[in-house]
Chains A and B, each alone.
Chain A
Amino acid sequence: DGGITQSPKYLFRKEGQNVTLSCEQNLNHDAMYWYRQDPGQGLRLIYYSQIVNDFQKGDIAEGYSVSREKKESFPLTVTSAQKNPTAFYLCASSIPEVGLNQPQHFGDGTRLSIL
């Protein structure tokens, strides 16, 4: 079955520590996205990538970093510079067709908490 796999499901971070959230997709989608969801809030875009080896900042990129070395993988690193990292993180992918705006498909999410 094609889909998006995020791991781990739960993650705990100590003060001053960097942590990496994994996102893998086998949908053969070129575009991938990372969102942050806080309680009672909508999804806010952190980073997105429309093609391998290229990515752009979203609305709340500070304190986060990404890489896109392979089409199927888009890991997100939450750095120690992100002072309020506790949130639910969702990864998504889509077929980037300019002007057609195909729907994004989402993983199950990673819940990150501070120890």
Chain B
Amino acid sequence: AQKVTQAQTEISVVEKEDVTLDCVYETRDTTYYLFWYKQPPSGELVFLIRRNSFDEQNEISGRYSWNFQKSTSSFNFTITASQVVDSAVYFCALSEARDDKIIFGKGTRLHILP
């Protein structure tokens, strides 16, 4: 069975600090995709990244970076030099290649304090 665990329910950091959001997943498939989405207070989910199971290279996009480690089934997300606009709920998600359905974690609510 597929499962996504985001153990951190809520995190608060002061602006300009770095913060890492953890994501651990479970799947029996060898081909799968991992996603991160951001949900700002407005409500819509904003797609951040998609990574397939065969690509373990870390990715950096501006202040955002992602660390994918198959050995620990983790796909962690780091925000460097956090800003107040980063305050949101962040969801990690998993999709097995055999269908298009996405399983979401319960989300981590991130508060960036000025």
Contact = CB atoms under 8 A, between A and B. Distances in A.
A42 B50 contact: no
Contacts of B45: 43, 90, 92, 104, 106
Given A48-B101, A50-B100, A96-B100, A103 B50 contact: yes
A11 interface: no
Interface string B31-61: 1110101000011111100100000000000
Nearest to B50: A103
A88 B47 contact: no
A64 B4 CA distance: 25
Q: Is the interface of B mostly helix, strand, loop or mixed?
A: loop
Contact of A40 (B100, B102, B104, B106): B106
A101 B50 contact: yes
Contacts of A45: 101-102
A101 B44 contact: no
A16 interface: no
A88 B43 CA distance: 9
A31 B102 CA distance: 13
A106 B102 CA distance: 13
Contact of B106 (A41, A94, A103): A41
Nearest to B101: A45
A2 interface: no
Nearest to A45: B101
Given A100-B97, A101-B50, A101-B96, 16 more contacts: A41-B106, A41-B107, A42-B104, A43-B91, A45-B101, A48-B101, A50-B100, A98-B99, A99-B31, A101-B102, A103-B35, A104-B45, A105-B47, A107-B44, A108-B44, A109-B44
11 contacts: A31-B100, A40-B107, A41-B106, A42-B4, A45-B102, A90-B44, A96-B100, A101-B97, A101-B100, A103-B47, A108-B42
